[in-house]
Structure 1
Amino acid sequence: MTSPEITTPERTALDKALYDALNPLASALRARATGLPEERMWEAAPLEVTLSILATWKVVDAEVKHLTALAAKTAGSYGASYEQLGAAWGITRQGARKKWPDAVDKAAPGEPGESLVELCGGSATLSRDPSSGHWRWAGRAADGTHGQAASASRHATKEEAAAHAGAFLKEHAAEGS
């Protein structure tokens, strides 16, 4: 997999979307830091405003790193290798292993193991029955609901169990998610 390139119009649209998303957060963070109302953010000295925006980008950067690590771990739970993660990110296998050390399931194929699926504010553990080789899931959704594969459910693959767990987590997402 090669790293995707974006076109100039796509970059322009992305920049606009990011700035549109950033402004309310920057206003809220600045209001908390200064005690001034959000609507007065732009009345400050240009240096103060630009430093507030820089500090807000730091918050966004940390969240993007968190979401990136979550995406890598999710891909790893579906069987992606460090080589595949590195290719998707445009780095080496070793670089991917260093960047996301816990992303790839260490259990060898065919061995029993567990994986975690995090979605919509909840999480579910996927586990393989060593005797039957079937996969099951159990988890807690964002709204506090506990769920698991029905006792008669036998998922042939980790992906199938993850799909069922994901549907449960999505169905029980917290309000506003």
Structure 2
Amino acid sequence: MVTPEITPEERSALDKALLDALTPLASALRARATGLPEERVWSEDPVEVALSVLATWKVVDTRVGHLTATAAGTAGACGASYERLGAAWGITRQGARKKWPDAVGRGPVAPVVLELFGGRAELIDDQSSGRWRWTGLGADGTRGAADPGTPSATKEEAAAYAGAFLREHGTGPVQDPSGRSSA
């Protein structure tokens, strides 16, 4: 795949669209940082204004990087090789592997099972979002799951939430690390 070239007209339209998208974000970030009303943030020291714009581009750059990694991961999940990812990005196969190390060959991950306090929970890697969620059945028969709107960033975080659920819905007194029991 050849990296696509854009025409000068397309470049100009892209620059305009990016600046149109950046301006409200830059205004909001600058207003929060300075405490000034949004209508006054651009009338301050030119150096500070320019630095605010630069900082906002950093936010955009970080989001674009995340979206780029998501696109690479999606292409990899659909069967694209590192060679093809690299060709699409204009880099070598090795460069693509370094840039997106988990994009290719990452098939479905088997759920991690926790059996604690007489209950059972599964930790599930949600590959579409790169987040973890959990479902569980407490020893008392109560079913639970991660809040769908707030999946965990790591497997360990999901395990902590699942473990807390299993403890709350376990049977019998729970032993704390000091050996004392609690109800």
Task: Provide the TM-score with structure 2 as the length reference.
Answer: 0.60
1:131 maps to which residue?
A: none
- Cα 1:32/1:90, change in 2 over 3 Å: same
2:73 maps to which residue?
A: 73
Query: What does 1:88-107 align with in structure 2 at a 5 Å threshold?
Result: 88-106=88-106
**Does the 8 Å CA contact 1:122/1:142 hold for their aligned counterparts?**
no
1:22 maps to which residue?
A: 22
Query: Tell me, which stretches of 5 or more residues in structure 2 are unaligned?
Result: 110-125, 134-145, 151-183
RMSD: 2.5
In the alignment, the residues of structure 1 paired with residue 4 and residue 27 of structure 2 have an alpha-carbon distance, to the nearest angstrom, of 32
What secondary structure is seen at the aligned counterpart in 2 of 1:57?
helix
2:2 maps to which residue?
A: 2
The reply to whether residue 35 of structure 1 matches residue 35 of structure 2 is yes
- Equivalent position to 2:108, from 110, 114, 127: 114
2:155 maps to which residue?
A: none
Q: Percent identity?
A: 69
2:60 maps to which residue?
A: 60
- Cα 1:82/1:118, change in 2 over 3 Å: same
Query: Tell me, which stretches of 5 or more residues in structure 1 are unaligned?
Result: 107-112, 125-139, 145-177
In the alignment, the residues of structure 1 paired with residue 8 and residue 96 of structure 2 have an alpha-carbon distance, to the nearest angstrom, of 28
In the alignment, the residues of structure 2 paired with residue 141 and residue 72 of structure 1 have an alpha-carbon distance, to the nearest angstrom, of 27
Task: Provide the TM-score with structure 1 as the length reference.
Answer: 0.62
Amino acid in the other structure paired with 1:91: I
Amino acid in the other structure paired with 2:65: K
What secondary structure is seen at the aligned counterpart in 2 of 1:6?
coil
